[in-house]
């Protein structure tokens, strides 16, 4: 019985150490996605687009704490720490499942909200207020960085500002480049920036979904390990 308990204890410790490492990786990857140059460029339109990444940062931090609790609980054979680890892990798993279900159910609303954000940003491109001009300056940097123009309808999104002195270099691209087209006698990028933003979000959504799925499997194993060790300590 002691041999089985010792084996289970050290298995639990190793598992929780790996769990802590997973939390560190999730936290690191999430922060990288959040502060990357592309993210800062996309953030020009709407910071709320990164709510899922912010959530992963929080989850990664919590997992690191839970991994530490699990390691200590396994080594010291502390039922209290193991129970806290189990409850915390169960709550995270429930939140993940709930988030996944809500994301699937409200997917159309999320897409509608994104389109609404893009339309509002188009209005800012056509506006002449001081606040809009600051947005336009940032957005021009985004256009040059990603070789795109406008948000939904290409250069037409700039409206009258396209031919204003301020917009003289809007969407300007090199001659004979395959990414260029002619609009009102000027060579401009033909790809709308809305497509670039959506592609960026979809690519990183796959990363987030992969992390969440792998994490769910690890969490289920963790629940089993912690409850088994908890029961063994209780029987001693």
pLDDT digits (tens, 9 = 90+) for 102-118: 767 767 776 777 778 88
pLDDT number for residue 64: 87
Residue 184 has pLDDT above 70, yes or no: yes
What is the tally of structural domains in the chain?
1
Query: Greater confidence, 39 or 214?
Result: 214
The residue with tokens 């990444």 is 53
> Per the domain annotation, does 163 fall within a domain?
yes
Q: What is the distance between the alpha carbons of residues 205 and 34, in angstroms, rounded to a whole number?
A: 12
Q: Helix, strand or coil for residue 160?
A: helix
Integer angstrom CA distances of residue 12 from 188, 203, 217? 59, 35, 16
CA distance 218 to 221: 5
Over residues 193-217, the pLDDT tens digits come to 888 888 877 777 777 777 778 878 8
Instruction: Answer whether residue 11 is part of any domain.
Output: yes
Q: Note whether residue 26 is domain-resident.
A: yes
Residue 166 lies in a domain: yes
- Is 226 part of a structural domain of the chain? yes
Q: Which domain holds residue 66?
A: 6-235
Of residues 5, 20, 37, the one with CA closest to residue 146: 37
CA-CA distance, 203 to 207, in Å (whole number)?
7
Query: How far is it, in rounded angstroms, from Cα 131 to Cα 127?
Result: 9
Is 62 a domain residue? Answer: yes
More confident residue, 168 or 232: 232
Whether 1 is covered by a domain: the verdict is: no
- Domain membership flag for residue 198: yes
Let me know if 16 is exposed, middle or buried by CB neighbors in 10 A (0-12, 13-18, 19+). buried
- Compute φ and ψ for 5, nearest 5 degrees: -65, -45
């Amino acid at each position: 019985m002691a041999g089985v308990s010792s084996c289970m204890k050290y298995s639990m410790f190793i598992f929780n150490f790996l769990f802590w490492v997973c939390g560190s990786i999730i936290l690191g990857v999430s922060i990288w996605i959040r502060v990357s140059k592309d993210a800062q460029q996309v953030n020009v339109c709407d910071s709320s687009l990164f709510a899922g990444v912010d959530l992963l940062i929080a989850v990664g931090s919590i997992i690191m704490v839970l991994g530490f609790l699990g390691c200590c609980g396994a080594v010291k054979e502390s039922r209290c720490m193991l129970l806290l680890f189990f409850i915390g892990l169960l709550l995270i798993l429930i939140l993940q499942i709930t988030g996944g279900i809500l994301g699937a159910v409200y997917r159309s609303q999320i897409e509608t909200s994104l389109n609404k954000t893009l339309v509002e940003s188009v209005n800012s491109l056509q506006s002449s207020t001081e606040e809009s001009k600051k947005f336009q300056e940032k957005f021009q940097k985004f256009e040059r960085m990603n070789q795109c123009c406008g948000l939904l309808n290409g250069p037409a999104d700039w409206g009258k500002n396209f031919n204003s002195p301020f917009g003289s270099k809007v969407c300007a691209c090199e001659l004979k480049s395959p990414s260029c087209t002619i609009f009102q006698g000027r060579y401009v990028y033909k790809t709308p920036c809305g497509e670039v933003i959506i592609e960026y979000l979809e690519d990183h959504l796959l990363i987030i979904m992969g992390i969440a799925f792998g994490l769910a499997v690890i969490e289920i194993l963790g629940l089993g390990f912690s409850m088994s060790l908890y029961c063994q300590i209780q029987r001693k």
